[in-house]
Amino acid sequence: MSGSIYEIIDSRFRDLIVGSAQLDKLYTGCRWAEGPVWFKDGDYLLWSDIPNRRMMRYLPDGTVSVFRADSNFSNGNTRDRQGRLVTCEHGGRRVTRTEIDGTITVLADSFEGKRLNSPNDVVVHSNGSIWFTDPTYGILSDYEGFRAEPEQPTHNVYRLDPETGALTAVVTDFIQPNGLAFSADEKRLYIADSGERDGEEPRHLRVFDVVDGATLTNGREFCRLEGGRPDGLRVDERGNVWTSGGPLVHCYAPDGTLLGRIHVPEGVANLTFGGPRSNRLFITATTSVYAIYLTVRGAQTP
Ligand code: MG
Looking at the predicted structure, is the pLDDT value of residue 225 above 70? yes
Report pLDDT for 300.
67
Domain count along the chain: 1
DSSP run (H or E) holding 79 = strand 74-79
Q: Report how far ligand 1's centroid is from the alpha carbon of 1 (Å).
A: 31
78 belongs to a structural domain: yes
144 belongs to a structural domain: yes
Q: Report how far ligand 1's centroid is from the alpha carbon of 200 (Å).
A: 19
Q: Report how far ligand 1's centroid is from the alpha carbon of 163 (Å).
A: 27
Q: Report how far ligand 1's centroid is from the alpha carbon of 13 (Å).
A: 25
Q: Report how far ligand 1's centroid is from the alpha carbon of 93 (Å).
A: 14
Q: Report how far ligand 1's centroid is from the alpha carbon of 121 (Å).
A: 6
Q: What are the backbone dihedrals phi and psi of residue 205, each rounded to the nearest 5 degrees, phi first? A: -105, 140
| pLDDT tens readout for residues 34-75 | 999 999 999 999 999 999 999 999 999 999 999 999 999 999
Which residues are within 5 Å of ligand 1 (an ion), measured at CB? 120-121, 178, 231
Q: Report how far ligand 1's centroid is from the alpha carbon of 246 (Å).
A: 13
299 belongs to a structural domain: no
Q: Report how far ligand 1's centroid is from the alpha carbon of 214 (Å).
A: 22
| pLDDT tens readout for residues 104-153 | 999 999 999 999 999 999 999 999 999 999 999 999 999 999 999 999 99
Q: Report how far ligand 1's centroid is from the alpha carbon of 7 (Å).
A: 24
Q: Report how far ligand 1's centroid is from the alpha carbon of 179 (Å).
A: 5
| pLDDT over 70 percentage in the chain | 98
Residues 22-26, mean pLDDT to the nearest whole number: 97
- Which DSSP symbol is given to 200? B
300 belongs to a structural domain: no
> In which domain, by residue range, is 166 found?
6-293
Q: Report how far ligand 1's centroid is from the alpha carbon of 77 (Å).
A: 10
1 belongs to a structural domain: no
Report pLDDT for 95.
98
Q: Half-sphere exposure (CA, 13 Å, Cβ side) for 202? A: 20
272 or 300, which is more confident: 272
Looking at the predicted structure, is the pLDDT value of residue 256 above 70? yes
Q: Report how far ligand 1's centroid is from the alpha carbon of 139 (Å).
A: 14
Looking at the predicted structure, is the pLDDT value of residue 2 above 80? no
Looking at the predicted structure, is the pLDDT value of residue 1 above 60? no
Q: Report how far ligand 1's centroid is from the alpha carbon of 137 (Å).
A: 9
Q: Report how far ligand 1's centroid is from the alpha carbon of 2 (Å).
A: 31
| pLDDT tens readout for residues 204-214 | 999 999 999 99
Report pLDDT for 302.
47
Q: Report how far ligand 1's centroid is from the alpha carbon of 230 (Å).
A: 9
Q: Which of 284, 273, 279 is nearest to 247 (CA)?
A: 284
Residues belonging to the chain: 302
Q: Report how far ligand 1's centroid is from the alpha carbon of 58 (Å).
A: 20
β-bridge mates for residue 32, sequence order: none
Q: Report how far ligand 1's centroid is from the alpha carbon of 61 (Å).
A: 27
Residues 94-110, mean pLDDT to the nearest whole number: 97
298 belongs to a structural domain: no
302 belongs to a structural domain: no
Distances (CA, A) of 286 to 25, 47, 125, 140, 247: 12, 12, 28, 18, 9
Query: Which pTM was predicted?
Result: 0.97
CATH number of the CATH domain containing 281:
2.120.10.30
For the chain, give the mean pLDDT. Answer: 96
Q: Report how far ligand 1's centroid is from the alpha carbon of 268 (Å).
A: 10
Report pLDDT for 3.
63
153 belongs to a structural domain: yes
Q: Quick one: how far is CA 162 from the chain centroid? A: 21
β-bridge mates for residue 130, sequence order: 124, 160
What residue type is assigned to position 61 of the chain?
Answer: D
